[in-house]
Structure 1
Amino acid sequence: MNYEFNAEFARRLDEQDELKYLRKEFLIPQHNGQDAIYLCGNSLGLQPRAAADYLAEQLKVWESKAVEGWFEGDAPWLSYHKQVATLTAPIVGALNSEVAIMNSLTVNLHLLLVSFYKPNKKRYKILMEAGAFPSDQYAVESQVKFHGFDPADAIIEVSPREGEYTLRTEDIILAIEEHKDELALVLFGGINYYTGQFFDLQAITKAAHQAGAIAGFDLAHAAGNVPLQLHNWDVDFACWCSYKYMNSGPGGISGIFVHEKHHGNDKLPRFAGWWGYAEEKRFLMAPGFHAANGAQGWQVSTSPIMLLALNKASLGIFTRAGGIEPVRKKSIALTAYFEWLIKNINLKHGEDVFNIITPVDPDARGCQLSLICRHKAREVFNYLTQHGVIGDWREPDVIRLSAVPLYNTFTDVYNAAVCLYEALNKLKMNNL
């Protein structure tokens, strides 16, 4: 497509957008009486308009039925989590039985590591990406220490090549092969939070299995952002949060995936709780843990219905969109236009003021673009904020901007680019 740097062109793209009707499903923050340009779905998604109604519905059940809400009504609380899991499964490419909605992300990661990180004297190492989100680093470090190993020895980090910002798949696979005799687990993010790189999860999983290791993923920045096929890729386990691209509210509930091949393995250790007990026997209150079938057997605590309701409100929007594939189609188009606009600013400036460190290949990224701003980076970011463009700052000089296809428009990214352009002028870096 031959792009143009003008508002009319962006407007025409919006007119052609088959998902443009979804924007009205969300509440847009206001700036000086107008919709802000919200490009921070990588950190917190916008509130669905339906969220208040879904929450109010469950509050009404609590008011009218109290404890009987667990068993009565059109959607009894006892099985409410299953409805949410069923809506989530297609988004992550899983069977319904492979998904459970529960807890928060790092809690779930720990619970899964209890089952799937089983080190011995020979195989005890975990391979992960250098620069993984700190919570993952802390979780892995603590798990390694819990088993009596030294993190400096037991954790292998794969870094980009010198002068590069993202990892090459061949280097990840080479590292797995190099350490194949001592690896217990390969644990990666689905999308790196800093660069926005979407890893080749299928290739990583295959390499891990060939090395005799388990393959697991933190999909915080991938779930609801890019198509996933966890079942078909033979991933062992995964977890994600729902407050980014699944728009379930700050601190929203998390989800897990456990491949069905592990469901019948009663030798897998796990930290058990009564909500993971076989449902048909749960209320017998008998001693001795008997896990529920599937991923639900990893549940621990009673479902938080209000958090599930918020999650369900957002998942309904994915259903109306026709699933993740149409969302992804728009995402690719939206991000490509945004990328072109930013590169066009660089051309006019005569240098790469904004160095996009996110991969160019659409298959290797989601909707996030991470920009290294070479001059007055913090001032540029502050200018965006002051003018109603809400993005995300990462030290020392990275601006993360994510055009989310469910609620962002081509006009949004055009106006954001104009603001970047104006910031350079206002800061007297050069007369563009």
Structure 2
Amino acid sequence: MVLAEVSSDQMNALDFPIQTHLLFVGVLFLGTLTISRFSPKIGIPAILGVLLLGLSINVSTLDITRAQAANFQLLGLALLLFYAGLKTDLTAIRGFFEYGILLAVGGVVVSSLILGSVLWFLGSSNAGALSLGGTEAIPLGAAMLIAACLGSTDAGATLSVLRSVRRKVPLRLQHLLEFESSVNDPSALLFYGLVVGIFVTAGAAGSVSSLESTVLTQVRIFLQQIGAGLVVGFVFGYLARFVVNYLVEERSQLLLVAMSIAFVVYGVATSLGGSGFIAIYVTGLFLTSSVYRSPEINHITIQEVLLPFNTMAEITIFLVFGLLVYPPDLIDALPIGILAAFGLMLVARPISVLMFQPFSPFSLKESLLVSWCGLRGAVPLALSHDLSLAIPRVRGIDPAIVDELSRNAESIIFIVVVVNLLVQGISLPYLARVLGLVPSPPAKPGLAS
């Protein structure tokens, strides 16, 4: 009897925290759904509302390490990229596919390099008034890592804002923005990996000659990751169609099969030294372009069953980041964060779009809208957790400022994302009206099909 009572007491003592945590999680997600619904009505992207919700709650006692958060965000990114592949309609971008690729890949590299230079200047002695608390300067490697984190535009935020201007923007321009924001995710992740390889690995080498050799090595690894990722994506794209045709008998099984395919593809690609993000995106692209045996299954069906998980992954990335950020940590990084945000919006992003204007089939007015529609979101926030682990290993960094710089780097990313979503999210509908863009006539191209 006594033993039973002790066990019962122990069980109740263990159950209470679990019940409390479940209650907290349930209320939290209901709050995010509420925010997601009402944020667009006041003119801000839904994901910005979710991010601010997490910041306002700010559970600093969450027992989550940076490495665990990075792994969790990695899982979320894999799902987001798989869904981005599923959402890419190649028939809709016929006529400007090459330009879309150029904008998505080249734009990430150019905007990251420009923003990295801006951050390096803002953190230098020439802008000493903007120093990060006790941090006198931002090393070039750290500045480039922060900028590389911010290289990708957010598909969810972009599409959310585009809904408010859908009748004011040509349909093919909407397709371009959707395609660019999907393709530049894996591009930004690969470029971030390249920057990490150059500045972090070079730190162990120590000499100029070894730095040059490291750059060549990292470029080779970069190209290998792209090549292996493409090959794995192509192979598993065909296999995935076979799996869906012969293993899925009814719609209820499609979710489990699709997610299993996504994780297998990512695991195989990374095991072979390729980019799991490229592979998973290409596999999603194949699935959405395939024809299936069952008339009940098509790319729209797969998108529908995965949409709730894609939405949950994106929301959770924003929510977890907001929960883990400690508001007082933002104060020191606020001046540089705000200036970096405007440097990204007014300098880096417009240059990265307009420099490719000679190759663009779009008018200058349309390109101006594209340059302003560069909303940052889930990918920068997810990469910021890895950034906090990479900065301590950057070449030439003073050990005395490592902890502070890692914390401030994450704060800079948070501030840039918030300012970017707020300013561009609110102003984009007004810019579309000012530019006076005329939607394409319905009879024109098969681009809208």
User: Highest relative contact order (Cα 8 Å, sep 6+), 1 or 2?
Assistant: 2
TM-score (norm 1): 0.26
Higher helix share: 2
Higher strand share: 1
TM-score (norm 2): 0.25
